[in-house]
């Protein structure tokens, strides 16, 4: 099987990863006893663990969502799948059309899922994080067949100091691979720039107000925010209104984009 996987690099589309990088990944997957025929990801957090994961990475997820959704808003339809992970290869967010997201969910690809080689086999996210550089993986280069219909471009998200924060993956069923790689690198750089543009106390926004706004930006309800931060719903609303006033926006929802633009979040 391993010889067959290696021979697939001789297909018409040029390879964007070195044979040594793929060989090393295939060998690790063999040691992990990962089957090419597995139908779902092997390691996914439960609801509570996923909630904690998203809270711990709220800042990265907030900026990732903003950057990807702004790109998606500029095109008529998007069949590509964007996947954001933290530095430990845990999925934080996914963005695409409803049909693609539903298909991803069927194989266990959702927030909290692991794209580490021990769970997902050879994949672009794991390789990009290991190499700390951009990677493109053709469909047939993935170890597990459930990914064979997708070519994936992944780029690490780095802070200005070079700290590895996460990874952005763009998976596409068709289209120019080099363009996908350039887009992924550009979006990953923008996310890293935004995450690093932190201005503590900017515009008078307190630490607690920032925490509330971050959770609000993740789609948490007032009740959920109150529960997680152990404050009342009324206090949640007061914090959001305070930020709205300080940033000069007309609605609580508008605070999110303004806070990101100003470097408050």
Which class in CATH covers the domain with range 202-262? mainly alpha
Angle between helices 233-247 and 252-262 (to 10 degrees): 50
Query: Residue ranges of the alpha helices (H) in 132-206?
Result: 177-196
Per-residue pLDDT at 180 exceeds 90: no
- Cβ of 21: how many Cβ atoms within 10 Å? 18
Q: What gap in Å lies between CA 169 and CA 235, rounded to an integer?
A: 37
Per-residue pLDDT at 113 exceeds 80: yes
Is the pTM higher than 0.95? no
- pLDDT-derived band of residue 144, with 50, 70 and 90 as boundaries? very high
Q: What gap in Å lies between CA 32 and CA 118, rounded to an integer?
A: 6
CATH number of the domain at 2-196, please?
A: 3.30.450.40
Sheet (strand 81-86) strand order: 91-95, 81-86, 164-172, 151-158, 135-137
Q: What gap in Å lies between CA 19 and CA 14, rounded to an integer?
A: 12
Average predicted confidence (pLDDT) for the chain: 86
Q: What gap in Å lies between CA 32 and CA 255, rounded to an integer?
A: 45
* Domain definitions of the chain by residue range: 2-196, 202-262
Looking at residue 140, the DSSP 8-state letter turns out to be G
Give the pairing of strands 91-95 and 81-86.
antiparallel
Phi-psi region of 183 (alpha: psi -120 to 50; beta: other; left: phi over 0): alpha
Higher-pLDDT residue of 201 and 165 is 165
Q: Helix, strand or coil for residue 54?
A: helix
- pLDDT-derived band of residue 1, with 50, 70 and 90 as boundaries? very low
């Amino acid at each position: 099987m391993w010889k067959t996987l290696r021979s697939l690099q001789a297909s018409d589309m040029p390879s964007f990863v070195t044979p040594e990088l793929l060989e090393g990944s295939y060998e690790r997957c063999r040691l992990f006893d990962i089957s090419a025929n597995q139908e779902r990801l092997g390691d996914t957090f439960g609801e509570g663990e996923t909630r904690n994961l998203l809270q711990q990475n709220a800042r990265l997820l907030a900026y990732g969502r903003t950057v990807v959704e702004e790109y998606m808003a500029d095109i008529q339809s998007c069949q590509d799948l964007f996947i954001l992970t933290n530095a430990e290869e845990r999925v934080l967010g996914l963005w695409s059309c409803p049909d693609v997201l539903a298909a991803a969910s069927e194989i266990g690809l959702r927030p909290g899922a692991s794209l580490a080689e021990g769970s997902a086999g050879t994949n672009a996210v794991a390789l990009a994080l290991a190499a700390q550089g951009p990677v493109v993986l053709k469909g047939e280069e993935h170890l597990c067949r459930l990914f064979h219909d997708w070519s994936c471009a992944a780029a690490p998200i780095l802070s200005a100091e070079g700290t590895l924060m996460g990874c952005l993956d763009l998976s596409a069923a068709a289209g120019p691979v080099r363009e996908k790689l350039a887009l992924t690198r550009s979006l990953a750089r923008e996310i890293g720039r935004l995450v690093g543009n932190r201005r503590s106390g900017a515009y008078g926004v307190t630490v607690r107000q920032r925490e509330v706004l971050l959770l609000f930006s993740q789609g948490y309800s007032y009740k959920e925010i109150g529960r997680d931060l152990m404050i009342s719903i009324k206090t949640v609303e007061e914090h959001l209104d305070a930020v709205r006033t300080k940033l000069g926006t007309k609605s609580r929802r508008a605070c999110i984009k303004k806070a990101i633009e100003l470097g408050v979040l």
